[in-house]
Structures are given as C-alpha cells and as structure tokens.
Structure 1
Amino acid sequence: MTRYQADGNTSYGNSIQINGPVHGNVGLATDLQPSFFKTSNYESYKNINPERVPETCVWFLEHPTFQKWKASSGDDLLWLSADPGCGKSVLSQALIDEKLVGAESVTLCYFFFKDNDEQNNTAKALCALLHQLFWAHEGLLQKHIASAVKKCGQALKNNFEELWQIFISAATNPSAGGVICILDALDECQESDRNVLIAHLERFYSRSVDKSKRGSKLKFLVTSRPYNEIERGFSRLIQSIPTIRLAREEESEKISHEIGIVIEAKVKDIAEKRGLREDVRSSLQRRLCEIPNRTYLWLHLTLDQVEKAIGKTQKKLFNIIDTLPRTVEEAYEKILARCVQEEARRVLHIIVASQRPLTLSEIDVALEIELDSTCYEDLDSEGAGDRKGYIRESCGLFIIVVDSRVYLIHQTAREFLVRKKNEMSAPQGWRHSVDLQEAHRVLSMKCIIYLLFRELQEYRVPTDADAPSSDMRSEVQAYSKEHAFLDYSAKHWISHVQEAHVDSPDWVYKTAKLCDIGDGSSCAWFRIYSSLYYLRHSPDRSKRPALYWAVMFGLINETKYLLKSDLDSVVQGGYFQNTLQAAAENRDRGKELVTLLLEHRGDRFKITEELVRAAALNDECGREIMALLLEQRAGRFEISAGLVAKIARFFDQRVMALLLEQRGDEVKITEEVVRAAAGNGIYGREVMALLLEQRGDEVKITEEVVRRAAGNDKYGREVMALLLEQRGDEIKITKEVVRAAAENWHSRKEVMALLLEQQADRFEISAGLVAEIARSFDQKAMTLLLEQRGDEVKITEEVVRAAAGNDKIWERSNGASP
C-alpha cells in the first residue's frame, strides 16, 4: 500500500492530494454525528468468526493474568499471543458478544484486523473505536473532535496521529467511565501501521505520570501471533504489562481438553444428523481425540470430511479417520484436490490478489471479464445467488461467504497458497502454487478492461456548474451501485498495476489511457477513487496531461511510455514543474520517478520552495530525492531564505552540506534558517552543528531560536544541549521559552531540567515565568529553580493558582509521553 502526503494531509492507500483542500464539506461542529467515523463494516469483520462452543476458552477466562487485568481499576494493557488456528479470533468475538471483559457499564470497542485494504490499517481501526465510543457517549463528540475536524476536514479519517489524540483524550475523559478496546489479529495489520500503533500503546502505558492521579480506566486487549517484531515493540513493557502466551508447551493440556469438548459437541451433532448409533458416536469421538497436535482450525477442516463420508458403520468411519489429514496444510491440500482445478485457480487468483473482500456481485462480474470484453453485453454474469453456489463448488471449504462477501477460510489459507519469492511451487500440489505477482496481473487486467468498457468511458460526471457538489457525489454513488465492479476497479486498479509490474506495450497503452482524465472532475472512476480518501481535484480547472496523473499514481512504466510519446504537450503551461513536484511527493517510487523526469526534461524546471516542500513531506525517500536534485541539478535551485529554511527544517545535514558545497556563496544563514534548524524534529542537532561549524559567524541565537529548540518535540534536549555548549552566553530563558518547553510533551522535563541545571542564572525571573513552571512542570523543576534562584522567586497568588491547576494539565496529557 502506498502512502502520500501533501498540504499537511496524509492519506493511506493509493491516495492523492492535488494542490487543493479536502473533498466534501464538513459542517460546523454542531452538525457532527458519530457516523462521521463509520468508515468500515467492523461488525461484519467480527461476525465472520464462529461462536465458541460452551465450556471452551476457559483456559483464558480463568487465567490469573486475565483476571487481574479484568479487575484492574485503572489503565491497563493485555497482550495475548498465540499460534495460528488456536482460536484467538473466536475468543475475541466471545469476549465482545458475551461481555466477558468487565461490568455492564463498561464501554466496549473493538476492531478485527485482516490482511486486506479494508482491515489492515490503523486509521480504519481508530475510526471504528471512535464510532463505538461516541455512539455510547455522544456528549463527548463535540468537545473532542471539533478542532480536529476544523483543521483536517474529512482527511481526519485517514490521519492516525490526530485520531489517536482524539481517542485517548475522549476515552480518558472521566465522563467516559471505563473503556475497553479489543484489537484482534494485530499481526495482520500492515507492518508500518502496526509499528506506529505499538509505539503509541507503549508510550501511553509506560509514561511516568502517576496513574492514580489521572482517574481514567482505559484498557486494551491485543491479540496476535507470537511474532518477534511485535514482541520487540512491546519489549520495554514486557516486565510491567501482563502477557499471556498460548504455546503448546505451556498450555497443551488445557487446550487439548477444550478441543476435546469441541470434538464431543461436533461429533454429537454429526451423529444426530446422520443417525449414528451411540457406540459408533462414542468410538468416533474417542478416535478423533487420540489424534495429536490438534488445533481448532484443523478440527473445523477435517470434521467436514467425516460429516460427508459415505457409510455409517464404525469400520467405515474409522477408515475415514485413518485417512484424515494430520496438519492444516494437508487438510488444505485435500480440500482443493477435490475441486475442479481450473475453476478453483480462476477464483483463487482473484481472491488472493484482491485488496479487500469482494462481494458476490463483484466477483461475478470479475470472473466473466475476458481479454476481448468491451462492454456489459459481453459479460455472461450468473447473478450473486448462482455465483455463490459456483464458488462453493469450485473451492469447497477453502472459501466462506459472509454477508455476501467472499473470504478465504483463514489467514493461513492465503499463506498456504501464495508462493514465496524465488520459491518453486510443490509438484502437482496447491501449496505455494499461486504467484502473487501473476494474481495481481490477472486482477489488474480485469480492472483495466472493465474501466475501459464503452459505457463507463462515455459516462461523464456532472461538473460543478451543472449541480451542487453533494448532488454530484450522490449521483456518482448511485452510478457506482448500479455497476457492481466499478467501485472496486476504480479504487484498486492502480495498486494492482503497481504490484503486477506489467510492461507489455499493449497493456501500458491501456493503463496510460486511463490516466488521460483531464482535471479529473468528470471522470467517474477518478471521482470514486478520490472519494475514498476525501480528496478533490485542484481548484485550478485547467486540463492536466496524462503524464501528470501517471506520476501522481506512481505508475513507472506508464510514465516512461508517456515521456517518450508526448513530451511537447507535457511541458506546456508549467505542467512539467507540477509533475516533478508530484513525483517528489511519491513515497514508494519518488526517487525513480524524479530520475525519469530529470533524464528526459531536466532542463525544463527550477527547484523552488514548493518542490523542496514536496520532498520534505515525503518521509520515505524525500532526503534521497533532495540529494539527487542537489547532486545533479544544483545550478537550478532558486536560492532564497525560504528555500534554505525549508532544507534546514526538514532535511538532514547531508542535504544541507550539499547545498552549502554547491551554492554556498549564495546561501545566507538568516534567523529564519537558524529557527528552522532548531525546530527540525529529526536532524535538528546535526543540522545546527553543521551551521555552527561552517557558518557560525552568521548564526544568531535569538529568543525565537531558543524557543524553537525548547519546543522541538522529539529532539529538543539534544538541540538545546548543543546551543548551551557552544553559544550558552547568548541564551536567555524567558517566559516564552518556558512556555514552549511546557508545550513540548515528548521532552518537556528533560529540556527544563537541562536549562535549570546549566543555565539557571540566565532565567529572566518574573511572576509569569514562575507561574508557568508551577503550572506545567513537576516538583523537580520547581525545586531546581528554588535552589538556583530562590532568593529572587516570589510565590505570588498567580503562582499558587498555577500550581493548584497542575494536576488538570497532567490529566489532559494522557496521550503524551512524560
């Protein structure tokens, strides 16, 4: 999945921000409803799982660690790790549906992760949690989201950092009472999102603020496979948070007993359905219980074979049991071996590559699209009902259909099918037989052919001049519902093309044709695509060339094709500059795209502040892009204080060193540049050290520079230490500096302790400054101030009032680091 960011808005997926504000109109805070956060069918994700058999999951429910977590009266975190097929998701569903985690008054929120675009990102998860929280406590809604909606609009739904702050703030509000969040299958969340979520959970639960002062009761229960990277993420908490590990060597006896209970219940059901004698039922149950290394998933897969077996005698059934697969992978192989191979592969290629679960109607259309299809009349669709039967006949138990959506039976089924890189598939078997790139090629071609259907190409969305934006959105939504495969194709064809790496001229021509959408306003697929990310086309309504869109979408082969075939139209009207800026913003393929553009038209552009800003917002490869531009095109930089400041603010010392080396005689180190370096949240110390070393005579340490260093969220202490070491005699600590440090939630205490220990004599003592310290810092900071400058400190009424309100400040900082 690709992530793009522009104009301060971050979006996940193949999303874009095109030099304009967010799409749609969020009204005043008074118009907001909990449904604002209903961005997924999270209820359906839970209900995919079967209900637990009575008397199972007891090993967990009675576990002392779970009981301790359940009884905890404050914030708490529980991490359950277990191998695949051990029933984690069934347990999570039972905890929710049967309300087994706490008192009736507790607000229970949940999200089930899955390895698809609808369920594998943390923004969707947080939106689901917020929807459930605000549905239960609607009074919290206006208070906690108004400012964020005003700031981000609809793009808030994709902004993890803002969503996290809203959730922590609302869930720890005293009026929320107890809040419990269950996050199932965290291992199936995409890795980058997962790491960020774990870091925020770790930060929330490890902060040093005394929990008893906060009064909040926010608990998380997280389940996952026992992956090393997840354990490393929780490593700093591993000693202080309760951790349950479901491993056979630790819980084998209890798990075996509970699987025995399930076998008894299922065999009884089979016996009743088939009319088996009691002695046959008893013998069948006993023989199944003798099979070693059983899991719930294995049991589900194998009992189906017993139920469908021919014969009712003990001997016939025992023969069936003797041939049952002993592992889940053997069970998968047997299920698919009974299928019609060609039909099963057609279906499974589509399901494995799909970015979200397809509906029956969508897969019905997809299966009928052929290379020569040009319109709806060419499709021989069966309809959702008949297609459901076809899928079951084609794939057996390997596929399940829930709420008209088609799923693989388990995540392990996908792992069983998909071939690992550079691995040969098993001879005449299904294990690792699906090449994922080939599956993406199949689905990308179906999406492209569909979007080029005559009917879809002829349809035009009404423009703003024809109808209000709300009417246009409604019309596009209605049109999409009438055309089953349109929503999926529009939103995901780009990712399939990227993953398929198809470079055939015929197909590159077709995909390049899809990029020829002008300003995007009247293109149905683009309006659907952009609505997913709450974005809109530029208010500049002029037509954009196909190359611009190919670059925006990160399509390498299409960019090459268009550069070779249509150069003249590309460079007209400054669009090459815009196209280069779009390339600089692309996180996954930005460097490759910029390189292509420089090779073909490197003489047609200038490096402006806007281009530098685009690269700055690219936190994946922005530094590499800037280094590339400086190494190859340093002479085309438009040197200005603003451009130099942006480099100092967003890039590392290597980029700044290249700029000074290539154009140093034109670079002026103004106060704006020094302020920017002091506020650089990642490389501030290194950039400031470089400036002091190479251009120290130009570096002026003003109050604003010190304030920026004190407020540097992540590296404020390091930047401040450098300034104190090299230019301490120029630093004065004013009320504004103290306030900046107070607002620095990540390193506030470290910055203030450093200033008081090394620079106490340079504090400008005033009632306002003392009050700010009393209001915003702990007793250590005040003690240091009194020790160093106590004879000048006056404890005024303002100071006493500030100290009295200090606990409230800490309560509001629940989501931040100490």
Structure 2
Amino acid sequence: MSEAIMRDMYQKPSDVTTAIIEQFDESDYFRYKARIKPPIDGTCVWFLGVPEFVQWLESQSSSLLWISGDPGCGKTTLATFLLDSIDRLQSQDLSLYGTDYLTTYFFFDWSTEDQVDGTALLFALIHQLLQADPALAPIAEKHVHRLNLENLCDIFEAIVSAPERKHQRIVCVLDALDALDECEAVSMTKAITFLASLIPRVGWLKLAVTSHRNQHLDKVFSNLPAHHQIHLTDHAEHIRQDIEKFIRARCVQVLEIMDCHDDMRRDIEEELIKRSDNTFLWVNMVLEQLKNNPHAWLEFFVPTLRSTDKLDGLYNSTFERSKAPGALLRTLSIIAASQRPLTLDEIDDALAVQPDDRSIRQVLERSCVDITEYLDDVCGPFIRIRDGEVSFRHKTATEFLLRSADVPRPPVGNGMYQYKGCLDVVGVNKCLAEICAVYLTLDGAVSDSSSSGRRAGIHVTDFDDEGFDNEDYPTVEENSGPTCRKSGRGAGLFDYAAKYWGTHYRLGYASSSASTGSRGNHTIFDKAIALCNTSTCTFHDWFQLYWNTISTIPEYPDNLAPLMIASHMGLLDLVRELLADGKGQNKQSNHLQVADSEGWTALHWAVWNGHGIKNDETIALLLQHHHDRSKDSIYNKPHDNDCHCNESTEDQQSFPAGSSTYVLDIKDNKGLTPLHWAAADDQTGVVQLLLKAGATVDVFDGQGMTALTVAYENGFIGTFEALLEYGADVNVPYPGP
C-alpha cells in the first residue's frame, strides 16, 4: 500500500465529519469479532482452494457467495478466517487484490441486543465504510434526519456507488444470517435482499454470507446472475480433519488442568474424534464441561462421552444428571424468555423472586453467594457467561428446550429425548412476566436512574396489589417523604423489568377471546393492574425507564390514564377490565375520548406501540368497544357528510359529557389522528381497521397533511393503496416544505 494512501487513510477528520460518522456507531461489531477465538493452526486453509470461492473472489464484477452448513460446523470461525486471510493476502500486495479494496463485516448474534437485525447490520457496514473514507461523510449527512432501515439502505447504496470512493473494491462478510427470531428475521431479510439487489448495479462488491440451509435466502439469492454457493456438507472430509486438529489441540489445553497421563489423553482424544459427528460445537461443549468441573470427570464426563454423540443427547444428559431439575428448569425458563442477555445481578434477583414477596429485602435474603458458580453448577453446557451477561451457549440449546405453545410435548418413551421441548414459549413468558411484575412492586426496588424532579411532584399514595388505597400499610409519602422515593437497594432487576414486563405479559397472556386470560393468575393480573395505575410513584419509577427506550423526549406526557398504558402495551385482558368499568379513581379516565397532555387518547397510544410489535388485536378491541357504545350520543360522528375534517385541535382538548367529537378523529396537539399515526408507521392493517370502523379518511393535521400525504411522503405503498381504497382524495393539496 503506497504512502499516499496510508496518509489519506489516517488523516484526522474534522469534528463535523466525526460527529456524522459517530451517528452510525450503533453496534459493537468490532469487539464482537475480536472475542471470537481464532481457528486452530492448520484449519480452514483448505477453503481458500475451493473452486467456488476462488471464482467468487477472482471475478472482476460484483458477486455473492453463500456458505451454508449445519449447526456447530464452524461457520463463524470460517468467516473470521476469511476476513483475516484476505487482509493478510492484501498486505502481501498480491496482484489479485491490488491496493484499493476494503473488507467489512457483521456477525449476527441472537444473544446480543445490538447484533440482531438488518438495521444493526447496515449501521455497522456504513460505519466501517465512513471510518475508512471520512470524505464520504457528506453523502451520509443528507439522510441522517431519519435513520430507519429504508434510509440506511439509501445511504449505503449512495456510498458504494460514489465515484469519489477511495476503496473501489469492497468485500463484505456476513455471518449467521439465520440466528434471529421472527421479527428480527423480517428486518434481516429486507437488508439482505437490498444488499443482494446491489450486486448487478455496482462495480465491485463481493458479498459473502454464512447460514444454515435457508429457504428464504434461497429465494433471495436464486435470481442473482452472479451467485456462488458452497455447502459445507460437500466438504465433510476437510471438516473432519479440522475437527481432529481442533480436538487434539484443545485436549492438550484442557487435560493439563487434570494432570492427565498421556495414555488417558489419547483415549479421550480418540473417543471425541469418533463421536464428534462433524461438529465443533459438541466437542467444545463436552470439553468445556470437563474444564469447568475437572474433579468430577470420572463420575460425569466419561459416561457423557460414551452415552451420546449428539447435541440433543448432551443437553438431555444434563437434565438426567441434575440434582435439582426444578431449579434448572426455572433458570432456563428465565434465560429462554429474556428479551436481551440478563446480567448476573439480574438473573440472581429473578431466581430469588417469589409471588408473595412484598419487599426487596426478601429477595436479597435468597440471593446466591456466588451466582456464577451456581449457574455453572446447575446449567452446565446450556449457558455461557461473558462480560457479566448470561445467555445460551448456542442457538441449538433454545431449539432443544423450546416448543410453540400449540405443539404438545412428545410423550416419554417414543424415541425422543425425555427433556426435548420441555419448555413452551407461552409458559416461559408467563414465568418471567410474573417475576418482573412482582419485582417492580416490591418496597425498596427502585432504580436510581428513574428518579427525577418530576417524581418529587407526585403527591399520591401507592396502591396494593388490587390497585386501591390500602389503609393497612403506610403510604409512600409516609415512608419516604414528599419525594416519594422508596428506600433500599439500587437497580437489580428493575431496569430489565421496567422495560420488558409488558412484553412478557403480552407474549404469555395474549388472547383475542374474552376469556379470563391472566385472571386465572391473581398475582400477575393484580400486579399488572397496579403497574398501570398512573397516579402512583411505582408507575413513574418503571414507566420513565420504559419511556426512555421508546422516545427521545425526556419526560412522558402528563394526565396519563391506565387504559392508555394497557392499550399501548397490548395487554388485552387489562384493556377489557378497564373498559368494563374500571376501579376506584380510575373509572372516569377509562373512556376513549380522554386525552393526555399531548392530546393522545388510548387509541393513539395503541397505534403507537413503541417497539414495532403489531398491536392489531388491542386496537380491534377498542374499536369494538366504541362500536358497541356508538348509539350513545357522545359517540355520534360529526362529519358524516364531509370526508374532509379540519377541526381545530384546541376545540378537542377537553371532552365533557355530551361532546360530539368523534372518537376516531380526535386530534393530538399537532393535529394528528390515530389514522395519521398508523399511516406514518406503515401499519396497513391498522389503517384498514380504523377506516372500516368509520374513521374519516381525509383529516388535515397542523401542517395540512392527510394520512394519504403522510403515506406518500414516506413511500409506504401498501398503506397508500389502502387509503385510496377507502376514498382518500389524491387531489388534496400537498403542503410545501
């Protein structure tokens, strides 16, 4: 590489340029790659000679390489090897590569919050491109006002298509495209489809991806003219040789701990090689068990080694050997349900919570002396602890444990492993929902980060589990003075519980029927009612933390009502309860016309769900309630003969009995109706629900925008077409900038 290029690469960018680049630093992609263990010497080298790989890299045009293989066959290690190998060859200045290329990468990881979807992928790729060539930052600056997936795609394409780009050749390696849940997979598929679509349109972009065999990716890639594919199963002999080298190297490291004599080491090596089933993962997990518990190897390790050569068998044997299977199931349920990896402190608290706890002191008394040792002892090969966070060691653990709620557990004795599918998705979420709800209502369980001057202004009493004033217990003011601050320890599980209790409740108790849902579990239902009571300090403590995850505005609106919170979070049985009649002082606030200080009604809150989870059932429930009561005069629609509504927002901010303002067309302080919100969020299904229920199709907001113009401005074709089907006026004047 020439001195001029080196000087350009390391020229310090301006503060403005640095600020632009930092906006794309949303993923810790570099640290994640750095902690992946390098391959054992002499392994993976064979891949550089595979004809499909050579053709992919040597061709003078853009092309894609798809590397597919079974779980645990070393795809992630291979991806790091490719990156390092290409960089090493480049440093040797081989004619194949020249001096104008750049390697970029991203490793999807289902257990790491910032490594899971298509948005994170594009943030990482753009950040790498801009760091390598800061002069391209002005291209990105044009789009930074809205960094959603669509705009990130535009930014990436603009950068790789820029004629002034310093590195004319880009190699992009993406690993583990299948390590995602359903919601994240949609985002990932959109991003990968976009990247694949660039292949015919840009000069020299080499895209390499690794995954399991995947029908979705097959559909995405099959139409590409320049598409190379390598099935690692076709190279089983090379992988077998790599695994043998891996076993011999790792056995030397692990068996040194045991001071094992050479004959025993060789016997163990040969047994591992014989039973490896062409997977690094099984071997690594068996050796990790031995490393973590070397003194018990005669009792546990040798029987495990001889009894199973499959991952499912290894997982099942952990249950069979467990001295506390109940504790193991509870721990794995919590880990399986968690929306992000839990810290050691968080899982320690979660394991200690019991349904009838009232104080954080009760939880602390049950905490483990050494939670790391406890988890290693109880969970064995299922988990890994890294950087103080707990997650499953591999996706295969989740696949072994979890089944869908509608899939019955296989009976014992039919050839299946006894513990396979022992947990269901609904059950684990019920478990963690109850833990979170109980924890949030404990005396003393409050996060310091949730306190604010606003909290000091709350002069109300807290409520017991039923949501009513409780004369048998002191009020928060009596306990803590005018600041309403509970005494006790710091965050513990509070941060996680505040941000995700509603998600677990919804996933555990979601039901579109009028059944009791969580009513059968009085603990969780009563706690949920109490948590939605917006007049308490407990509500402020958890909701402020939750609010910080869904909004950039520092403080949430005033005058919130329980129905707004339950509707927003999609808690169907709570919404039914609140709509039925409400309780105590909440009763008057549970009407669909009631608005908070921003003018948002329960319907606004339901449409804006905050985390991108579809909330159609809750919205349908609110609309059905409105329909059932539509004979009441206060629900009469005022615009029956006029599809254009431009009523001032100020006229709608209070709704006394007898008001004729139509519920579905209530505007917030910016003149936005729920239909505007649904259109702005591209919720085609919600748009159709609102219009079918009778919402006015053309209502002008404070800037003269209708839902149709909002959808048009954002390029939401499906929503745009749905609005047209219901008679939206295409001739409405489009407000200028």
Query: Scaled by the length of structure 1, what TM-score is found?
Result: 0.65
Determine the structure 2 residue equivalent to 1:332: 315
In structure 2, stretches of 5+ residues that fail to align are 1-14, 92-100, 458-486, 510-517, 636-661, 666-671
User: Which moves more between the two structures, 677-686 or 391-400?
Assistant: 677-686
Counterpart check, 1:559 vs 2:582: no
Counterpart check, 1:619 vs 2:683: yes
Instruction: In structure 1, give the amino acid aligned to 2:174.
Output: L
Counterpart check, 1:189 vs 2:211: no
**Secondary structure of residue in 2 paired with 1:80:** strand
Counterpart check, 1:85 vs 2:81: no
Superposition map of 1:86-235 within 5 A: 86-96=73-83, 103-104=90-91, 106-114=102-110, 117-141=113-137, 143-149=138-144, 151-152=145-146, 156=147, 159-173=148-162, 174-177=164-167, 178-206=169-197, 211-212=202-203, 217-235=204-222
Q: 1:242 aligns with which of 214, 220, 228?
A: 228
CA distance in 2, matches of 1:256, 1:57: 11
CA distance in 2, matches of 1:321, 1:689: 63
CA distance in 2, matches of 1:410, 1:495: 23
Q: RMSD across aligned C-alpha pairs, in angstroms?
A: 4.4
**Secondary structure of residue in 2 paired with 1:372:** coil
Superposed CA deviations along residues 210-231 of structure 1, whole A, max 9, x for unmatched, are 644xxxx443322111121221
How far has the Cα of 1:49 moved from its partner? 4.3
How far has the Cα of 1:79 moved from its partner? 1.9
Determine the structure 1 residue equivalent to 2:494: 486
Determine the structure 2 residue equivalent to 1:781: none
How far has the Cα of 1:67 moved from its partner? 2.9
How far has the Cα of 1:684 moved from its partner? 6.9
Determine the structure 1 residue equivalent to 2:407: 422
Superposed CA deviations along residues 97-148 of structure 1, whole A, max 9, x for unmatched, are 666586357343323231565432222232333344444444433x134333
Counterpart check, 1:446 vs 2:446: no
Contact 1:451–1:525 at 8 Å: present in 2 too? yes
Instruction: In structure 2, give the amino acid aligned to 1:578.
Output: T
Superposition map of 1:615-764 within 5 A: 615-616=678-679, 617-630=681-694, 637=696, 646=706, 681-682=717-718
Counterpart check, 1:578 vs 2:601: yes
**Secondary structure of residue in 1 paired with 2:208:** strand
Contact 2:400–2:420 at 8 Å: present in 1 too? yes
Contact 1:516–1:546 at 8 Å: present in 2 too? yes
Contact 2:196–2:221 at 8 Å: present in 1 too? no
CA distance in 2, matches of 1:356, 1:679: 32
How far has the Cα of 1:195 moved from its partner? 4.2
- Structure 2 vs 1, CA of residues 319 and 619 (structure 1 numbering), >3 Å: closer, same or farther? closer
Contact 1:182–1:221 at 8 Å: present in 2 too? yes
Counterpart check, 1:364 vs 2:348: yes
Instruction: In structure 1, give the amino acid aligned to 2:570.
Output: G
Determine the structure 2 residue equivalent to 1:798: none
- Structure 2 vs 1, CA of residues 62 and 611 (structure 1 numbering), >3 Å: closer, same or farther? same
How far has the Cα of 1:496 moved from its partner? 0.7
How far has the Cα of 1:331 moved from its partner? 1.3
How far has the Cα of 1:365 moved from its partner? 1.7
Contact 1:447–1:489 at 8 Å: present in 2 too? yes
Query: Identity across aligned pairs (percent)?
Result: 25
Determine the structure 1 residue equivalent to 2:452: 462
- Structure 2 vs 1, CA of residues 50 and 434 (structure 1 numbering), >3 Å: closer, same or farther? farther
In our comparison, the structure showing a higher alpha carbon Rg is: 1
**Secondary structure of residue in 1 paired with 2:72:** coil
- Structure 2 vs 1, CA of residues 681 and 321 (structure 1 numbering), >3 Å: closer, same or farther? closer
Determine the structure 2 residue equivalent to 1:712: none
CA distance in 2, matches of 1:685, 1:129: 33
Instruction: In structure 1, give the amino acid aligned to 2:622.
Output: L
How far has the Cα of 1:499 moved from its partner? 0.8
How far has the Cα of 1:648 moved from its partner? 5.8
Contact 1:366–1:485 at 8 Å: present in 2 too? yes
Determine the structure 2 residue equivalent to 1:717: none
Determine the structure 1 residue equivalent to 2:533: 516
Determine the structure 1 residue equivalent to 2:381: 397
CA distance in 2, matches of 1:289, 1:318: 15
Counterpart check, 1:529 vs 2:546: yes
CA distance in 2, matches of 1:94, 1:611: 51
Contact 1:264–1:285 at 8 Å: present in 2 too? yes
Superposed CA deviations along residues 161-214 of structure 1, whole A, max 9, x for unmatched, are 1222223333554445144333221112344553454445444544697644xx
Contact 1:82–1:88 at 8 Å: present in 2 too? yes
- Structure 2 vs 1, CA of residues 245 and 512 (structure 1 numbering), >3 Å: closer, same or farther? same
Contact 1:480–1:486 at 8 Å: present in 2 too? no
Q: 1:69 aligns with which of 34, 56, 64?
A: 56
**Secondary structure of residue in 2 paired with 1:559:** helix
Contact 1:498–1:555 at 8 Å: present in 2 too? yes
Superposed CA deviations along residues 308-337 of structure 1, whole A, max 9, x for unmatched, are 788999xx9997587241211111111332
Contact 1:79–1:223 at 8 Å: present in 2 too? yes
How far has the Cα of 1:68 moved from its partner? 3.4
Instruction: In structure 1, give the amino acid aligned to 2:435.
Output: K
- Structure 2 vs 1, CA of residues 510 and 234 (structure 1 numbering), >3 Å: closer, same or farther? same
Q: 1:596 aligns with which of 614, 617, 622?
A: 622
CA distance in 2, matches of 1:376, 1:400: 27
Contact 1:519–1:537 at 8 Å: present in 2 too? no
Determine the structure 2 residue equivalent to 1:744: none
- Structure 2 vs 1, CA of residues 117 and 309 (structure 1 numbering), >3 Å: closer, same or farther? closer
In structure 1, stretches of 5+ residues that fail to align are 1-27, 468-478, 652-675, 709-818
Instruction: In structure 1, give the amino acid aligned to 2:81.
Output: A
CA distance in 1, matches of 2:301, 2:531: 59
CA distance in 1, matches of 2:321, 2:600: 58
**Secondary structure of residue in 2 paired with 1:377:** helix
Instruction: In structure 2, give the amino acid aligned to 1:333.
Output: N
How far has the Cα of 1:52 moved from its partner? 1.9
Contact 1:584–1:625 at 8 Å: present in 2 too? no
Contact 2:684–2:718 at 8 Å: present in 1 too? no
CA distance in 1, matches of 2:198, 2:130: 26
CA distance in 2, matches of 1:384, 1:41: 31
CA distance in 2, matches of 1:505, 1:67: 63
Query: Scaled by the length of structure 2, what TM-score is found?
Result: 0.72
Determine the structure 1 residue equivalent to 2:6: none
Counterpart check, 1:542 vs 2:562: no
- Structure 2 vs 1, CA of residues 113 and 371 (structure 1 numbering), >3 Å: closer, same or farther? same
- Structure 2 vs 1, CA of residues 561 and 39 (structure 1 numbering), >3 Å: closer, same or farther? farther
How far has the Cα of 1:391 moved from its partner? 0.5
- Structure 2 vs 1, CA of residues 521 and 218 (structure 1 numbering), >3 Å: closer, same or farther? farther
Instruction: In structure 2, give the amino acid aligned to 1:185.
Output: A
- Structure 2 vs 1, CA of residues 265 and 288 (structure 1 numbering), >3 Å: closer, same or farther? same
Instruction: In structure 1, give the amino acid aligned to 2:352.
Output: E
Determine the structure 2 residue equivalent to 1:752: none
Contact 2:676–2:706 at 8 Å: present in 1 too? yes
